[in-house]
Amino acid sequence: MANEYKYDRVLLKLSGEALAGDLGYGIDPKVVDDLAEEIAEIVHDGVQLAVVIGGGNIFRGLAGSAEGMDRAQADYIGMLATVMNALALQDAFERHGIFSRVQSAINMQEVSEPYIRRRAVRHLEKGRVVILAAGTGNPYFTTDTTAALRACELDVDCVMKATKVDGVYDADPKTHPDAHRFDRISYMDVLSRGLNVMDATATSLCMDNDVPMIVFDLTKPGNIKAALQGEPVGTVVE
Ligand code: UDP
């Protein structure tokens, strides 16, 4: 393990839209490939990495239920969408020489292992990236909450929350140019100010279990490594 890194074991939360790139929908193979290249560097340096992948680039349960679908049924569709993203990520990881395993919270034995905490930890110890698919396996949750839950279970040093902005602001920087960016902020402040970082369930789970989170801009190349090296590229929530 190169000691240039501040964290040994981390969980990266990627939203589905991170895989869609400018397409805004579905999976852009070039975007996934670039991401894998960046991740390969830190994994080859010895950082243990678990990835929770979202599905919003394909389907969101809430959007389905807004159109009249049964919410739970729509959420299961959303969870299945995350499995497609997980397989796309695994494909790109392999092309970049990263060993990985997909573990799904909904059993899908032809394409993934079931999520088994101890096995996931063993993979991490062996330097394999564990891609966690199908969220928590339960409707009415999100992949942000999955990230918080798995971060606690897998005893990671921090959650890396990839976004399109360079941290947490007190207002949307796109519509409020004078919005203030925090270098650090407490989970309690995030909750009481209603800041749009993660949903409240995920935020309180991280807070209750002392899991720090770095919110950073994934669209800037090199930021994953910089954040892991403790450079101030985002906001630390703790
Ligand atoms: N989902 C769910 N339970 C979970 C995780 C996800 O039901 O534990 C469903 C939910 O419908 C959600 C969809 O999967 O809208 C995709 O996940 P999410 O919206 O969190 O993806 P992201 O916004 O990160 O792309």
Stated as kind and residue range, the H or E segment containing 152 is helix 143-153
Query: 60: Cβ–Cβ under 8 A, 6 or more apart, which residues?
Result: 78
Domain residue limits at 67: 9-237
With contact defined as beta carbons under 8 Å apart, do 103 and 133 qualify?
yes
Name the burial class of residue 130, with classes exposed (0-12), middle (13-18) and buried (19+) by CB atoms within 10 angstroms of its CB. Answer: buried
* Site residues for ligand 1, CB cut-off 6 Å: 15-17, 54-56, 60-62, 75, 78-79, 81-82, 135-136, 138-139, 141-144, 146
CA neighbor of 132 nearest in space, from 171, 159, 165, 168: 159
Do the domain assignments include residue 13? yes
Query: For 160, which DSSP code?
Result: E
Distance CA 72, CA 61 (A): 8
Task: Pull the structure tokens for residue 57.
Answer: 């680039």
pLDDT digits (tens, 9 = 90+) for 58-88: 999 999 999 999 999 999 999 999 999 999 9
Query: 4: Cβ–Cβ under 8 A, 6 or more apart, which residues?
Result: 45, 229
Query: For 86, which DSSP code?
Result: H
Do the domain assignments include residue 61? yes
Per the structure, how many domains does the chain have?
A: 1
Task: Estimate the crossing angle of helix 200-208 against helix 143-153, to 10 degrees.
Answer: 10
Neighbours of 237 (CB within 10 A): 27
23 band by pLDDT with thresholds 50, 70 and 90: confident
With contact defined as beta carbons under 8 Å apart, do 130 and 103 qualify?
yes
Q: Tell me, in angstroms, the distance from the centre of ligand 1 to residue 221's CA.
A: 26
CATH number at residue 114: 3.40.1160.10
Q: What percent of the residues of the chain are helix, what percent strand, and what percent coil, each to the nearest 5?
A: 40, 20, 40
Test site for ligand 1: of 60, 140, 160, most ligand atoms within 8 A of the Cβ: 60
Do the domain assignments include residue 49? yes
With contact defined as beta carbons under 8 Å apart, do 97 and 31 qualify?
no
Do the domain assignments include residue 202? yes
Test site for ligand 1: of 53, 67, 82, 205, most ligand atoms within 8 A of the Cβ: 82
Specify the pLDDT at position 147: 98
Do the domain assignments include residue 3? no
Stated as kind and residue range, the H or E segment containing 234 is strand 234-237
Predicted ipTM of the assembly: 0.99
Do the domain assignments include residue 1? no
Q: Looking at ligand 1, which atom is closest to the CA of residue 57?
A: 25
Specify the pLDDT at position 3: 59
State yes or no: pLDDT of 1 exceeds 60.
no
Specify the pLDDT at position 104: 98
Do the domain assignments include residue 40? yes
Q: Tell me, in angstroms, the distance from the centre of ligand 1 to residue 18's CA.
A: 14
17 band by pLDDT with thresholds 50, 70 and 90: very high
Longest dimension (CA), the chain: 52
Q: Tell me, in angstroms, the distance from the centre of ligand 1 to residue 134's CA.
A: 8
174 band by pLDDT with thresholds 50, 70 and 90: confident
Do the domain assignments include residue 37? yes
Q: Tell me, in angstroms, the distance from the centre of ligand 1 to residue 34's CA.
A: 24
